[in-house]
Structure formats: C-alpha cells, structure tokens
Structure 1
C-alpha cells in the first residue's frame, strides 16, 4: 500500500468531506503532552485571526492548514499517532470545550496514551481530582484551563464556540499522512523529530503529486519521471544567478521549487499567504480536475 496524503477537517463537516475520526494510540516512544498556555492560545488566536482577515476582505475564509498528522494503521483498526500528538490532543480539548457550549458539536476521535493507565477516561472526564496523577494529566488539565480562559475573554463565549465549530468543520484542516503498511513507527518517529524542521508547501505537494500519479496509471514509471522532473526544477532554481534574476534576492530557501508553485497560485487581496495555502490550492486543482485528468495538473507545472 502506498502512503496516503490528504487534507482532513478537524470536525465533521459537509457530507463526503474527510475529517479526523477514530481511536489514536500514543506509543511509549513519544514524550507526553507538553503544550502550555502560550502554544494553546497561539493556536486559537491564529484561527480567529484567519477568520478576521477574511472578514476584512469581505470573503469567506480560505482553508487553513495545520501541521501534518502522521499515522499508521494498527492491526486492531486503530491509528498509531506517529507525529502530531501535541496538536491533535489540543484540538481534541478545544472541540471538547466547544461541545459544552454548542449542542451540534460532536467529538469523533479519542486518544489513548500507552504509558498512562485510563488516559482515555481522563480525557473524557477531565476529572479535577486526577489532574496530578501524572505529569501528562497535569499538562492536559492546564491546557484545558487555557482554552476555558481564552473563550472567557471573548465577547461571548457561546458565540465564540459556534465560530470555532464553524472553523473546525469548514476550513481548518490537518494534513493527514498515512504511512505505508509495514513502516517501522519508531524509525519514522525518529526521522520526523530529529531536526524538527517544518515541512514546506512543495514537500507536501510532491507527496501529493507522486501519490496521485501512481494512482492515476498504476505505473511506477510515471512517478519516477515526475520525480526526475521535480529534481531538475529544484536544481535549476538553485543556480545562484538564475535565482537572483527570478526573485531579485539572494536569500536561500530549504526548497526553491516553492517559488514555482507560489507564482502559479496568486493570492490577491491577502497580505501574506496562510500556512500551507499554496499546498491547498494545488490540492484543490487536483480535486477539481479529477484523478483521471491528473496529468493535466502536472502538465500545467511543466509548461509554466
């Protein structure tokens, strides 16, 4: 089985829209939950700011992409959460709070920590008498307090909960990466966390392009051809004189091919691109054209 890469809403939205659901298992090789008040509030502030920026433009919010969630299917049908524990746990706590204020909100996923007995029950109840049973429960309790505090600071906690529900079920998405069957989760976790360098738009686009090209014709040859073309584009864009001519800058980037995709996806009306906005526009293009016409998407890149 090949890897699966797709955007998923955090909460259930319109019919046929993929969303985060199921039981997630956090294995012992991971550290526990450690996000604090600052990280929790930053996530909430970012979502609110994205909605406000759209309102100022008198437009609907564009899709807002969070960092990837990397999972591996387990034999019992649950998901091993290889990367993204901090984000997914925080989003769980946010949706849990929203559900207390807005009856239409519903939790569709749960988390279990291998190293913490009854962790699923604790996340369900957030029993204050158990918050100091271990360091993970302590941090989870503090994160939830930060969420309650943030909503309490809004003009109306109830309306803010409705707004968050709308965001999480319509335009806030995680980038869902399902590792191929047989992947060693310990090795994958180590590789993902060794340098902690965020993935670029182009790296996510590359995974999306290659996964669709393989599905489109069932041949490895097409994937290898695209991968070779991709490397050639990156190599050409790394030529210092050519790069300076194109960008009027000598600033180097982790991946220069991002410039190509950014040029193909103008963002008129926005002062800056939201995180993974370019990836989202390419994903929309592929979805609009349909899998049988995938070649047209890549042709538009090579002919640009």
Structure 2
C-alpha cells in the first residue's frame, strides 16, 4: 500500500501531469502556467506543438520529447531525475496527459519507485463534449479511439452496446464517417452528438439520431478532431445484447467464445453456463460428450 501526501514536502521530486488547452490558449490555468515555469524539465508528447504553447506564454523551461516511440528510453531518465529531486512536468499535445497518450506509463513507473504523482485539473475534450451533448451525464464510459479496422471496431462495439452509460469516443476527421456508419450498423438508431473543434473558433455540435447524423457526415466536409458521444443502451437494447446467443445451439455458443474471443474450452464452457444460467456440467456434457 502507498499513501501519498502530495504537498507534505514540496522539495521532493515529483511527476506532475499538467493539462494544456485543447484549442483555446486562454483555457490554461494559472497553476498550470506556474508549474510549467518552475518545473525542472517538461516532458512533451510532441515538442514542436508544446513549444508553441511555451513561446506564447514566454516559458523557457527545458523541453524533452516523450511519446510512444521514445517512452521506454526516456522513462528511466525522467524517473532518475525525479528521484534526485527534479520536478518533471508531463504534458500531452492537448488536454489531460495519460488520456489517450503515453503518459500512463510514466505514472506507473513513478509509483513503482515511490515517486509522487501530482495531477493538475484542466481541459479535457471528452468531458466537455459529454456535458455539451445533452445526453446523460449520470454514467459515462470513455473508450478513446476505436480500432481502425471494421471487424475489430464491431467487436468493441458489440461489447459496449449493452452498457446503459453514455459512450465517449475520439475520432479523426478521416475516419469519422466510417465510424458513424459502424455505430449505426452495430448500435441501431440511438441519439448521438458529434463535437468538433472544441473551444476553437469553429466549434460545432451536431446532435440528433445516428441516422440523422449519418446523413450530415455524408454531405458535409469533415474537419478537425471529433468527440463522439452516443446514448447508452435502454432496457430493451441491454436485454437484446445480453441474449445475443438465444438462437445458438449450446455447442455453437461455446465455440463462439473459443473462435471469436480466444477463450479456452474450459473458459468458454464456464461463460456459456453463466450466460444461460445453467450448471457448467450441463454445458460440459453437451459440448464434450456430444461433440
């Protein structure tokens, strides 16, 4: 167990996650600016992008790159600096570090070495889009970027379609049309909101049913990064998703888990028994003895 008292000794080294604006530079906090100014070094996902932010606010703190291609070699160096008393500010290209970027790894490495991890509050595209979507904020499920290939995308959505919480995804303008199509095929005609260019001059929310928004993406030029917010499953959707196996023979049910989800026969039999509410022995006999 590890108990962290973040500000008991502010001379100790630390990893400090600093959210940066997702579009409008005025959204940065005073605390974030002060942290970037006083940090020993700033570890950035893309130094070119972060340099623009630092130049705008006349911050001269040393900058080093930290992204998925260099993280393994950089983590050890940054952690060693923190152990020696350095204050390492970690930033992403925009928004909260460690959300859909490699910041998670440095957090894990720091905690394994008992180094403090301090998280500053700040801009986040997913939460901004959710609040502006008009969909339920009582429960929400953030997935991030869906897989690029349709088959893998469908597999993910099949897992999520019975969740009653609002679903949040990030998507690029180049794939948003395909993604909305797959959402329609997999989830049906739920309510959806596309939020693009958040906090920027051309910020735009497109709200409606998936069918309505599908027409919009087919007839409009798609620019900027998108956040997609989809209505969660209602009771009928959830029940239908839960009973996906209803037309399968018991043997086919087991084989689905083995072929589609890579489970062993033992694991597949156990899950099939759970789905059907029957003893494992019954599924075992049906699969092995009659196989």
Whether these two folds match at TM > 0.5 is: no
TM-score by length of 1: 0.24
The structure with the greater share of residues assigned to helix is 1
Q: Which has the higher strand share?
A: 2
